Structure 1
Amino acid sequence: MQPRPAAQDSDDEIDLMAVIGTLWRGKWVIAGCAALLMLIGGYYVFRVAIPKYQASTTLALELRSENVVDLESVVSGVSTETSAINTELEVIRSSGLLEKLVTELNLTADPEFNGALRPEPEFSIGKLKAIIRTAVTPAAEEEEAGVGLSPEEKEMNRTVATVRDAISASNQRNTYIFQIGAKTTDAMKSALIANTLARLYIQDQIDIKFQATENAVTWLSERVIELEAELKERENAIKELRAETDLVNAEALLALNQQAKDVRDRLADSRTTLALVGARVENLRSLQQEGDPATMAAAVNDPTLDRLVVRAGNDSATRELFDERFALLITREENALERAEQQVAALEASYARLQEQIEQQSADLVKLQQLERETEATRTLYETFLTRLKETTVQRGLQQADSRVLSKATPGVYVEPRKTRILALCLILGAMLGAGLVLARQMMHSGFRTPEDLEAATGHAVFGQIPKMPLRRRGNLVTYLNDKPTSAAAEAIRNLRTSVLLSDIDQAPQIIMSTSAIPGEGKTTQSISLSHNLAGLGKKVLLIEGDIRRRTFAEYFDFGDSPGGLVTALTGKRPVSELVVRAPGMDVDVLRGEKASVNAADLFSSDRFQEFLQELRRSYDYIVIDTPPVLVVPDARVIGQFVDAIIFSVAWDRTSKTQVTEALRQFESVGIRVHGLVMAQIDPRGMKRYGYGGKYGAYSSYGKGYYDAS
Structure 2
Amino acid sequence: MLQKHTAQPVSSLQTERDDELDVLALAGTLWRRKFALAACALVALLLGAYYAFFVAVPTYRSTTSLALELRNEPVVDIEALVSGASTDDAALNTEIEVIRSRGLIRQLVQELNLLADPEFNSSLRPAPAFSLRKVVAAAIDQLPFDLPALPEPRGAGIEPLVETEEEPAVSAPPGMNATIGAVRRAVAANVQRNTYVFDISVTTQSPRKSMVMANTLAELYIENQIDQKFSATESAVTWLSTRVVELEEELRNRESELKALRTQVDLVSLEGLEALNRQLIVARERAEAVASEISEAEARLSQIAALRAEQDYLGLDSIFDDNTLSALVRDGSDTSAIEARLDLLTDQLDNSLTRQRQRLETLMPSVERLEGQVEAQSDEVSQLQQIEREIQTTRTLYETFLTRLKEATVQRGTAQADSRVLSEAIMGNYVSPNKSRILMLSLILGLLVGAAIVLARQLGNKGYRSAEELETSTGRSVLGQIPLMPIKRRNQLITYFNDKPTSAAAEAIRNLRTSILLSSPDKPSQIIMSTSSLPGEGKTTQAIALAHNLAGLDKKVILIEGDVRRRTLNQYFRKDVNTAEGIGSALQTDASMEEIAKFIIRDPRLDVDVILGEKIAQNAADVFSSAKFKRFLGTLQAHYDYVVIDTPPVLIVPDARVIGQYADTVVFNVAWDRTSRVQVREALRQLSTVNISVTGLVLSQISPAGMKRYGYGGKYGSYAGYGSSYYES
TM over 0.5: yes
Cα deviations by residue, 1:396-431 (Å, 9 ceiling, x for unpaired):
222211111111111112222211111211112222
The residue that corresponds to 2:121 in the other structure is 114
Structure 1 position 496, deviation (Å): 1.0
Residue 481 of structure 1 pairs with residue 497 of structure 2: yes
The residue that corresponds to 1:566 in the other structure is 583
Residue 554 of structure 1 pairs with residue 582 of structure 2: no
Structure 1 position 548, deviation (Å): 0.6
Structure 1 position 658, deviation (Å): 1.5
Whole-Å separation in 1 of the counterparts to 2:47 and 2:35: 18
> CA separation of 1:72/1:516 partners in 2, compared to 1, >3 Å: closer, same or farther?
farther
The residue that corresponds to 1:507 in the other structure is 523
The residue that corresponds to 1:256 in the other structure is none
The residue that corresponds to 1:56 in the other structure is 63
**Counterparts in 2 of 1:120-139, with a 5 A limit?**
120-123=127-130
The amino acid of 1:36's aligned partner reads V
Secondary structure at the aligned position of 1:429 is classed as helix
Whole-Å separation in 1 of the counterparts to 2:227 and 2:425: 24
> CA separation of 1:487/1:139 partners in 2, compared to 1, >3 Å: closer, same or farther?
farther
C-alpha contact (below 8 Å) 2:45/2:439 kept by paired residues: yes
> CA separation of 1:572/1:435 partners in 2, compared to 1, >3 Å: closer, same or farther?
same
**Counterparts in 2 of 1:25-36, with a 5 A limit?**
25-36=32-43
The amino acid of 1:553's aligned partner reads L
C-alpha contact (below 8 Å) 2:715/2:723 kept by paired residues: no
Structure 1 position 377, deviation (Å): 14
**Counterparts in 2 of 1:27-106, with a 5 A limit?**
27-71=34-78, 73-106=80-113
Whole-Å separation in 2 of the counterparts to 1:382 and 1:621: 135
The residue that corresponds to 2:709 in the other structure is 689
C-alpha contact (below 8 Å) 1:581/1:591 kept by paired residues: yes
Residue 20 of structure 1 pairs with residue 17 of structure 2: no
**Counterparts in 2 of 1:369-448, with a 5 A limit?**
389=405, 391-448=407-464
Secondary structure at the aligned position of 2:509 is classed as helix
Structure 1 position 469, deviation (Å): 0.9
> CA separation of 1:691/1:561 partners in 2, compared to 1, >3 Å: closer, same or farther?
closer
Whole-Å separation in 2 of the counterparts to 1:560 and 1:11: 49
Which of residues 635, 639, 647 is equivalent to 1:619? 639
The residue that corresponds to 2:724 in the other structure is 705
**Counterparts in 2 of 1:3-402, with a 5 A limit?**
5-6=12-13, 9=16, 12-71=19-78, 73-123=80-130, 153-222=173-242, 389=405, 391-402=407-418
Structure 1 position 4, deviation (Å): 5.1
Cα deviations by residue, 1:372-417 (Å, 9 ceiling, x for unpaired):
9x98998798887666555544432222111111111111122222
Structure 1 position 187, deviation (Å): 1.8
Percentage of pairs with the same residue: 56
Cα deviations by residue, 1:79-132 (Å, 9 ceiling, x for unpaired):
222222122112112111122112222222223222333332323689889999
The amino acid of 1:569's aligned partner reads A
**Counterparts in 2 of 1:445-464, with a 5 A limit?**
445-464=461-480
> CA separation of 1:662/1:642 partners in 2, compared to 1, >3 Å: closer, same or farther?
same
Whole-Å separation in 2 of the counterparts to 1:405 and 1:560: 105
C-alpha contact (below 8 Å) 1:544/1:626 kept by paired residues: yes
Cα deviations by residue, 1:635-689 (Å, 9 ceiling, x for unpaired):
0011111111111111111111111111111112222111111110011111111
Whole-Å separation in 2 of the counterparts to 1:519 and 1:632: 8
Secondary structure at the aligned position of 1:415 is classed as strand
Structure 1 position 140, deviation (Å): 7.3
Which of residues 547, 556, 567 is equivalent to 1:531? 547
Whole-Å separation in 1 of the counterparts to 2:248 and 2:662: 124
**Counterparts in 2 of 1:653-672, with a 5 A limit?**
653-672=673-692
C-alpha contact (below 8 Å) 1:641/1:672 kept by paired residues: yes
Q: Which moved more, 1:683-692 or 1:216-225?
A: 216-225
Secondary structure at the aligned position of 2:175 is classed as helix
Residue 678 of structure 1 pairs with residue 695 of structure 2: no
Residue 492 of structure 1 pairs with residue 508 of structure 2: yes
C-alpha contact (below 8 Å) 1:227/1:378 kept by paired residues: no
> CA separation of 1:10/1:645 partners in 2, compared to 1, >3 Å: closer, same or farther?
closer
Unpaired stretches in structure 1, ≥5 consecutive residues:
250-363
Whole-Å separation in 1 of the counterparts to 2:208 and 2:76: 43
Q: Which has the larger radius of gyration?
A: 2
Whole-Å separation in 1 of the counterparts to 2:502 and 2:634: 35
The amino acid of 1:43's aligned partner reads Y
Structure 1 position 21, deviation (Å): 2.8
Structure 1 position 434, deviation (Å): 1.8
Secondary structure at the aligned position of 1:6 is classed as helix
Q: Which moved more, 1:193-202 or 1:118-127?
A: 118-127
The residue that corresponds to 2:286 in the other structure is none
Whole-Å separation in 2 of the counterparts to 1:621 and 1:590: 14
Q: Which moved more, 1:376-385 or 1:393-402?
A: 376-385
Whole-Å separation in 2 of the counterparts to 1:410 and 1:594: 95
Secondary structure at the aligned position of 1:179 is classed as strand
> CA separation of 1:409/1:430 partners in 2, compared to 1, >3 Å: closer, same or farther?
same
C-alpha contact (below 8 Å) 2:531/2:650 kept by paired residues: yes
Whole-Å separation in 1 of the counterparts to 2:252 and 2:674: 105
Residue 596 of structure 1 pairs with residue 616 of structure 2: yes
Structure 1 position 155, deviation (Å): 2.7
Once superposed, what is the RMSD of the aligned Cα atoms?
3.7
Q: Which moved more, 1:99-108 or 1:522-531?
A: 99-108
> CA separation of 1:129/1:172 partners in 2, compared to 1, >3 Å: closer, same or farther?
farther
C-alpha contact (below 8 Å) 2:580/2:614 kept by paired residues: no
Whole-Å separation in 2 of the counterparts to 1:232 and 1:664: 118
Q: Which moved more, 1:411-420 or 1:528-537?
A: 411-420
What TM-score do the two structures reach when normalised by structure 1? 0.73
Whole-Å separation in 2 of the counterparts to 1:671 and 1:506: 21
Q: How many residues align?
A: 576
Structure 1 position 71, deviation (Å): 4.3
Whole-Å separation in 2 of the counterparts to 1:377 and 1:464: 121
The residue that corresponds to 1:541 in the other structure is 557
Secondary structure at the aligned position of 1:452 is classed as helix
The residue that corresponds to 2:671 in the other structure is 651
The residue that corresponds to 1:301 in the other structure is none
Whole-Å separation in 2 of the counterparts to 1:419 and 1:124: 27
Whole-Å separation in 1 of the counterparts to 2:655 and 2:182: 77
C-alpha contact (below 8 Å) 1:519/1:629 kept by paired residues: yes
> CA separation of 1:535/1:92 partners in 2, compared to 1, >3 Å: closer, same or farther?
same
Secondary structure at the aligned position of 1:404 is classed as strand
Cα deviations by residue, 1:121-153 (Å, 9 ceiling, x for unpaired):
323689889999x99x97978xx9xxx887752
Secondary structure at the aligned position of 2:519 is classed as coil
Secondary structure at the aligned position of 2:64 is classed as strand
Cα deviations by residue, 1:245-288 (Å, 9 ceiling, x for unpaired):
xxx99xxxxxxxxxxxxxxxxxxxxxxxxxxxxxxxxxxxxxxx
Structure 1 position 690, deviation (Å): 1.4
C-alpha contact (below 8 Å) 2:254/2:391 kept by paired residues: no
The residue that corresponds to 1:312 in the other structure is none
C-alpha contact (below 8 Å) 2:621/2:658 kept by paired residues: yes
Whole-Å separation in 1 of the counterparts to 2:631 and 2:392: 127
The amino acid of 1:420's aligned partner reads S
Unpaired stretches in structure 2, ≥5 consecutive residues:
1-7, 142-146, 157-167, 266-272, 275-378
Q: Which moved more, 1:586-595 or 1:151-160?
A: 151-160
Cα deviations by residue, 1:136-176 (Å, 9 ceiling, x for unpaired):
x97978xx9xxx88775233223222222222222222222
Cα deviations by residue, 1:435-458 (Å, 9 ceiling, x for unpaired):
222222233321111112212221
Structure 1 position 498, deviation (Å): 1.4
> CA separation of 1:384/1:604 partners in 2, compared to 1, >3 Å: closer, same or farther?
farther
C-alpha contact (below 8 Å) 1:55/1:411 kept by paired residues: yes
